[in-house]
Structure 1
C-alpha cells in the first residue's frame, strides 16, 4: 500500500537516511547525527535497532518466542534508538506517519521514524529476521513515492558493488536488495570514509 508523497510541491523530495546501531559501536554515531542535523535538504532518518535489537535476538534464543514477536520487539528497539538520537541533536524529532514527516520538515526539523505504526499492518513486510532497519528504510522510501534511500554503514563499501552483492556479503539485508530492485529506488550505501559524500547529498557543510 502506497502513501502520499511527503513535502510541499515547491520543496525538494526528502531523502531517507538510515543510521544504524553499528555507527554507535564504531564511535561514529554522534558525528553522523551532527552532520544530519546541519542538512539543508529534507531528510527522514530511519534508526537502526542497535543494542536494543541485539537484546531481542539474545532474548529470543533464551525464551524461544516466535519471529513475529521478535520482529515487533526489534521495531520497538528502533523506537528506543530514535529517542536516543533525538536526545543527542535537538533538530531531530520522533515521527510516526507521513503527515508527521511533512510537519517536521515544514518546521525545519529532521523527522526520525518510529516504524511500528506504519509497519504493523503492512503485509509486504516479512515478520522475521530477513528484514532489518535496512529493508524497513527501503520500504518507507517506496511507500513515500519512491524516494532515494541512503544507508550509513560502519564498513567500507566498493562503489561498483551491486545490491545483490551487498546482500550476499551481509552488508545489507535481503529485503533491502529485493525492495530497491523491484521498486527501482535510487540507493547508496556509504561507509566510514564517505562523510563528505553524505554532506554533499544532504546539503550539509563538508566535515
Structure 2
C-alpha cells in the first residue's frame, strides 16, 4: 500500500484532476490518498483566531476540512472510494480500488498528541502510513521541492509540519516529496513498482 498525501493547496488547481486520474489509472488496489485541508482548514484557523476556541475543537474542524476535500476529490474523480476506517480502507483496496481517506475516526473529545497545529495532514499521512504498514509515502505539494534539503530542513522551512520528521524518522518505507508538476514521476514510480 502507498499513502499519497495531496496538499489542500491543490484543491483549486487544475492539476488536481490529473493527479487523481493518474492515481486511479495506475494505483488501483495500491493507493490510499490522504487529502489536505486546504482552504477548508484555513477557515478553521481564521475562526479560531476570532473565537479563541481550543485546539481540540480546531483539530476536529480540521478533520472535517480534510473530509470535505475527500468529498471534493471524489466529485472530481468518481472512481475514488471514500473510507473512514481501517476496515473500509482495506476492503476497498482488496477490491482493487483507489481510496481517499476521510479521517472522521480522528475526532477527539480530549487533547492528545494529534490535537495541535504542529500536526497537519502531512503528519496524519505519516501516522496512517505507520499504522497500516505502508510500502511508501508520497507527499505532494504545490511548490517546488528543494531536493538538497532533508525532511528536518523542510520542516524547519515550513514545507512540512513540525511533527513530520519525528513520525517518519524510523519509517521502514521511503518518503518522497513531489511538487504538483511531478505527476509523471509518481506514475513512473507506480509503474516501476508494478513490474515483478
What TM-score, normalized by structure 2, do the two folds share?
A: 0.89
2:150 and 2:172 mapped to 1: Cα distance?
13
Structure 1: gaps of 5 or more residues: 1-13
1:97 and 1:185 mapped to 2: Cα distance?
22
Partner of 1:116: 104
Partner of 1:200: 188
Partner of 1:99: 87
Partner of 1:9: none
Instruction: Check the 8 A contact 2:59/2:107 in 1, yes or no.
Output: no
Partner of 1:73: 61
Secondary structure of the 2:139 match is strand
Alpha-carbon RMSD = 2.1
Partner of 1:30: 17
Partner of 1:168: 156
Instruction: Check the 8 A contact 1:138/1:176 in 2, yes or no.
Output: yes
1:179 and 1:138 mapped to 2: Cα distance?
6
Instruction: Check the 8 A contact 1:119/1:125 in 2, yes or no.
Output: no
User: Is residue 2:151 matched to residue 1:181?
Assistant: no
Tell me the CA shift for residue 146 of structure 1: 4.6
Match of residue 116, structure 2, among 124, 128, 132:
128
> Which 4+ stretches in 1 moved above 3 angstroms?
118-125, 182-185
Instruction: Check the 8 A contact 1:43/1:202 in 2, yes or no.
Output: no
User: Is residue 2:147 matched to residue 1:142?
Assistant: no
Partner of 1:17: 4
User: Is residue 2:156 matched to residue 1:159?
Assistant: no
Instruction: Check the 8 A contact 2:11/2:69 in 1, yes or no.
Output: no
Secondary structure of the 1:45 match is strand
What TM-score, normalized by structure 1, do the two folds share?
A: 0.84
Q: How does 1:39-78 map to 2 (within 5 A)?
A: 39-40=26-27, 42-78=30-66
- CA distance 1:146–1:60, shift in 2 (3 Å): same
- CA distance 1:111–1:120, shift in 2 (3 Å): farther
